């Protein structure tokens, strides 16, 4: 008989859309999560689950809280070492901070070190699934897939393709990009927990033959995702009609080449038109909202209410180099704060925050049937949070009156020091104090 584990802990999850259902947040004070074969076999009140499965070995985490693993829907692995480049605009930051570092990924040893640290950082912050911008270099992108595969994370990534506008060493012909992408798809797509995403950097850096090549890849392989950027800064958007004079708006560029729809995640969308929002919703294209990056680069305040009213799926991305770090809880807090100061902001209560960093992300990346909440049948991807005894969070949690208040405090105060264990499909991918690098080498 397969051994089963019963985790006993207060837990939270949002099995349904928290923007449509006021009761979306499920809180269990004395919760039980039964894990069998890497999946949630049962979830609910501990006593009830215990009665149904009396033989299960109990893991007692009543001193903390359990959430579904976080889903980061937009993050750039080569930008790990350039966090903190404050005070620039998007196009200036790209030229002087981001792209020089992206060019260093030509060095495979440097890229491999970056990839290993990147994957370790995701896990240490509770991120179990990430849609990741790879590198402009094939070997560096392969290094990311290998690091993610060894660590056991769900990573969806791809070669970043561009043939203009950046630096010459980051440009590649559509023919070479097709060859390298095809090879990476063969090596990594649907291998274990890895998936491939066709990744044109953004419209400015991709010629029409390059975008056409991206559409060809999608037609030739099943189950690929697409990730790119859209409507991030006003100055960027002003360049689009010069390069694509036929396009009615930014989204129309991607639409023409079949790069939108379910399984496509477009980052930012700070300045959409009403028509674009309608078409995003109708086509089930999702948006990765990156509030720290939008603020740090001065790109503006995300019109969340317009997206939600139009029916567009929005999830959260850290963006890393343009943002402020890997923490999805912190990113959720930043989204909350930005909405507080937005002219037409939405109240991001704990239910909506939980939804945005878990379930919405799962839907955005096309894994909504597999992950995102604790309903029976889902993979057991989870984060165990227990703050250090001497932390502000521990003080706050000692006096809160409800589980919902606890969750608000966790979003406000929990950093990686509070992330004690992270599981993917029931298997630990991070334990506090254990460097992931050691486990990578051991396997
Ligand atoms: Zn980005």
Bridge partners (DSSP) of residue 160 are: 199
**HSE-CB for 362 with a 13 A CA cutoff:** 24
> What separation in angstroms does the CA of 376 have from each of 39, 354, 373, 380?
8, 19, 9, 9
> What separation in angstroms does the CA of 153 have from each of 108, 128, 136, 214, 217?
21, 6, 22, 25, 24
How high is the pLDDT of residue 2? Answer: 66
Q: Rounded to 5 degrees, what are φ and ψ at 289?
A: -90, 125
How high is the pLDDT of residue 18? Answer: 98
- Tell me the CA–centroid distance for residue 442 and ligand 1, in Å: 33
Tokens matching residue 63:
């001193």
- Tell me the CA–centroid distance for residue 227 and ligand 1, in Å: 9
- Tell me the CA–centroid distance for residue 90 and ligand 1, in Å: 10
Strand 26-36 relative to strand 5-13, pairing? antiparallel
- Tell me the CA–centroid distance for residue 374 and ligand 1, in Å: 29
Quick: pLDDT tens for 275-290: 999 999 999 999 999 9
- Tell me the CA–centroid distance for residue 389 and ligand 1, in Å: 36
H or E segment and range at residue 43: strand 39-45
- Tell me the CA–centroid distance for residue 132 and ligand 1, in Å: 9
- Tell me the CA–centroid distance for residue 319 and ligand 1, in Å: 5
Angle between the N-to-C axes of helices 174-188 and 138-151, in degrees from 0 to 180, rounded to the nearest 10: 20
All residues at 6 or more sequence positions from 299 whose CB lies less than 8 Å from its CB, including other chains: 90, 232, 233, 234, 268, 270, 293
Tokens matching residue 435:
């460097």
Percent of the chain with pLDDT over 90: 96
- What is the C-alpha to C-alpha distance for residues 207 and 200, in angstroms, rounded to an integer? 10
* pLDDT tops 70 at residue 336: yes
- Tell me the CA–centroid distance for residue 353 and ligand 1, in Å: 21
- Tell me the CA–centroid distance for residue 289 and ligand 1, in Å: 10
- What is the C-alpha to C-alpha distance for residues 367 and 226, in angstroms, rounded to an integer? 14
* pLDDT tops 50 at residue 314: yes
- Tell me the CA–centroid distance for residue 323 and ligand 1, in Å: 9
Q: Are 174 and 198 in contact (CB under 8 A)?
A: no
All residues at 6 or more sequence positions from 270 whose CB lies less than 8 Å from its CB, including other chains: 231, 232, 233, 294, 299, 300, 301, 302, 303
Terminal CA-to-CA distance of the chain, rounded, Å? 27
- Tell me the CA–centroid distance for residue 370 and ligand 1, in Å: 25
- What is the C-alpha to C-alpha distance for residues 328 and 335, in angstroms, rounded to an integer? 10
- Tell me the CA–centroid distance for residue 136 and ligand 1, in Å: 14
> What separation in angstroms does the CA of 307 have from each of 197, 277, 287?
24, 6, 9
- Where residue 325 falls (left for φ over 0; alpha for ψ -120 to 50; beta otherwise) is left
Nearest residue to 206 via CA among 178, 234, 235: 178
Quick: pLDDT tens for 58-116: 999 999 999 999 999 999 999 999 999 889 999 999 999 999 999 999 999 999 999 99
- Tell me the CA–centroid distance for residue 204 and ligand 1, in Å: 13
Q: For tokens 């001497």, name the residue.
A: 390
- Tell me the CA–centroid distance for residue 230 and ligand 1, in Å: 9
- Tell me the CA–centroid distance for residue 229 and ligand 1, in Å: 6
* pLDDT tops 70 at residue 435: no
How high is the pLDDT of residue 297? Answer: 94
Q: Are 33 and 66 in contact (CB under 8 A)?
A: yes
How high is the pLDDT of residue 324? Answer: 95
Whole-prediction pTM: 0.97
Tokens matching residue 384:
């165990």
Percent of the chain with pLDDT over 70: 98
- Tell me the CA–centroid distance for residue 247 and ligand 1, in Å: 22
* pLDDT tops 60 at residue 441: no
- What is the C-alpha to C-alpha distance for residues 436 and 426, in angstroms, rounded to an integer? 17
How high is the pLDDT of residue 228? Answer: 98
* pLDDT tops 50 at residue 440: no
């Amino acid at each position: 008989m397969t051994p089963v584990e019963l985790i006993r802990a207060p837990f939270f999850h949002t099995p349904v859309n928290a923007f449509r259902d006021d009761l979306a947040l499920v809180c269990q004070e004395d919760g039980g999560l039964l894990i069998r074969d890497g999946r949630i076999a049962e979830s609910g009140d501990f006593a009830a689950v215990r009665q149904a499965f009396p033989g299960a070995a109990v893991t007692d985490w009543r001193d903390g809280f359990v959430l579904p693993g976080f889903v980061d829907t937009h993050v750039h692995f080569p930008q790990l070492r350039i966090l903190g480049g404050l005070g620039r605009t998007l196009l200036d930051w790209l030229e002087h901070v981001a792209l020089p570092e992206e060019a260093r990924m030509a060095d495979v040893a440097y890229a491999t070190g970056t990839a290993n640290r990147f994957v370790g950082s995701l896990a240490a912050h509770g991120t179990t699934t990430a849609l990741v911008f790879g590198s402009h270099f094939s070997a560096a992108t392969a290094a990311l897939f290998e690091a993610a595969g060894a660590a056991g994370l769900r990573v969806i990534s791809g070669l970043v393709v561009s043939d203009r506008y950046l630096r010459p060493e980051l440009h590649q012909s559509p023919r070479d990009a097709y060859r390298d992408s095809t090879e990476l798809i063969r090596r990594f797509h649907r291998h274990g927990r890895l998936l491939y995403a066709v990744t044109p950097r953004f419209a400015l850096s991709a010629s029409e033959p390059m975008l056409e090549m991206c559409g060809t890849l999608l037609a030739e392989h099943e189950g690929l995702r697409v990730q790119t950027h859209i409507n991030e800064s006003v100055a960027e958007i002003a360049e689009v009609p010069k390069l694509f004079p036929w396009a009615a708006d930014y989204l129309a560029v991607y639409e023409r080449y079949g790069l939108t729809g379910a399984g496509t995640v477009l980052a930012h969308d700070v300045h959409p038109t009403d028509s674009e929002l309608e078409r995003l919703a109708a086509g089930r294209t999702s948006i990765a909202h990156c509030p720290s990056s939008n603020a740090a680069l001065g790109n503006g305040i995300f019109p969340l209410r317009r997206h939600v009213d139009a029916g567009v799926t929005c999830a959260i991305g850290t963006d890393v180099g343009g943002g402020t770090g890997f923490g999805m809880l912190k990113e959720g807090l930043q989204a909350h704060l930005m909405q507080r100061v937005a002219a037409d902001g939405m109240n991001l209560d704990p239910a909506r925050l939980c939804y945005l960093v878990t379930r919405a992300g799962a839907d955005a990346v096309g894994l909504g049937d597999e992950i995102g909440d604790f309903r029976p049948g889902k993979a057991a991807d989870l984060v165990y949070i227990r703050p250090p005894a001497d932390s502000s969070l521990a003080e706050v949690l000692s006096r809160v009156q409800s589980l919902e208040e606890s969750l608000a405090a966790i979003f406000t105060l929990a950093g990686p020091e509070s992330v004690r264990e992270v599981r993917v499909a029931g298997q630990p991918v991070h334990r506090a104090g254990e460097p992931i690098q050691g486990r990578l080498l051991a396997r």
